[in-house]
A and B are shown apart, each in its own frame.
Chain A
Amino acid sequence: MLSKIHHVGVVVRDLEQAYGFWRDVLGLPVHKVQTVVDQDVRAALLTIGGSEIELLQPLSDKSGIGKFLAKRGEGLHHLCFETDDVHAELDAARAKGIRLIDEKPRPGLAGMICFLHPAATRGVLVEYAQPFADEEHAR
């Protein structure tokens, strides 16, 4: 079951510079920062209510986020829904014939994650995330 917006993903050129607006002006505390090696990004989660804003800085031009930045510039990237069972949600999406990006969940900044193809969701890149059990999510 999808319970809430876990986060909205935003591609930025420079994470530290982005803090100047999202953390310092909007007042959103930085909850977690991590380099996601397989995606070649440096990412940060900033808490807003029970959700987060995820800032994504590409670490190479060849990564998916790097290509997005080169093509479209900084801006909105994806919308992530939280679930308590990412495997079940992915299976359900597959059963509905929804085009997928990930065939199975994988670890990410927000927990175990997977992406659906934006062509199936009106141009919106949708992510499912099941937070790690040992990690207290922002509430």
Chain B
Amino acid sequence: MKTLRIDHVVVGTDDAAGAVATFRGHFGLPSAAPLPGGAPTLAIGDARIAFVAPAADGAVAAAFASGGEGMAVVCLEVASVRDAETALRQAGVKCTTVGGAVEVDPAAAHGVRLRLVEGARR
């Protein structure tokens, strides 16, 4: 599998506007393109921090239910989602494809809710 970079980190929050204001105020991060579902993001280097409501994303909802507001999902860019899915399955790692992204079973990723996307989804 060719894993290229961290595309974005998702902060699960039921107050996206407030969380954006917190991160912009604390860290001076500029706005970036929203996620496909419309969640706001801030840029940091070549990555983004996204602020997603639990109701909008099942993985965020699961993280939010167990830990409250905080880091919920890490999204990595891969060269090919298809190749990534094949490599995961060959390694015996459970995964699902949702909307063109591969979601890795957190049990295989050491508790991390991990999503793999291609660059075109940015």
- CB–CB B112/A76 < 8 A: yes
Q: What residues of B have a CB within 8 angstroms of the CB of A36 in the complex?
A: none
Q: Interface code B70-98, partner A: CB below 8 Å = 1, 0 otherwise?
A: 11101011000000000110010100000
Task: Give which listed residue, B5, B22, B44, B112, contacts A122 with CB less than 8 A.
Answer: B22
Query: Taking the nearest CB of chain B, how far is it from the CB of A87, in angstroms?
Result: 16
Number of interface residues of A (CB under 8 A): 44
Contact of B44 among A5, A13, A27 (CB under 8 A): A5
Residues of A with C-beta under 8 A to B5: 48-51
> At the interface, yes or no: A10 with Cβ under 8 Å from chain B?
yes
The reply to whether the CB of A81 lies closer than 8 angstroms to some CB of chain B is yes
CB-defined contacts of B66 to chain A, threshold 8 Å: 72
Contact between chains at B69 and A122 (CB < 8 Å): yes
Query: Contacting A76 at CB < 8 Å: which of B28, B46, B49, B111?
Result: B111
**Residues of chain A contacted by B22 (CB below 8 angstroms):** 120-122
B3 and A75 within 8 A (CB): no
Q: Which residues of B contact A72 (CB under 8 A)?
A: 66-67
B53 within 8 A of A: no
Q: Mark B1-13, 1 if CB is under 8 A from A, else 0.
A: 1111110010101
By beta carbon, the residue of chain A nearest B6 is A51
Residue B34 lies at the interface, judged by CB distance under 8 Å to chain A: no
Contact of A12 with B by CB under 8 A: yes
Within 8 A of A (CB), among B6-47: 6, 9, 11, 13, 18-19, 22-23, 25-29, 44-47
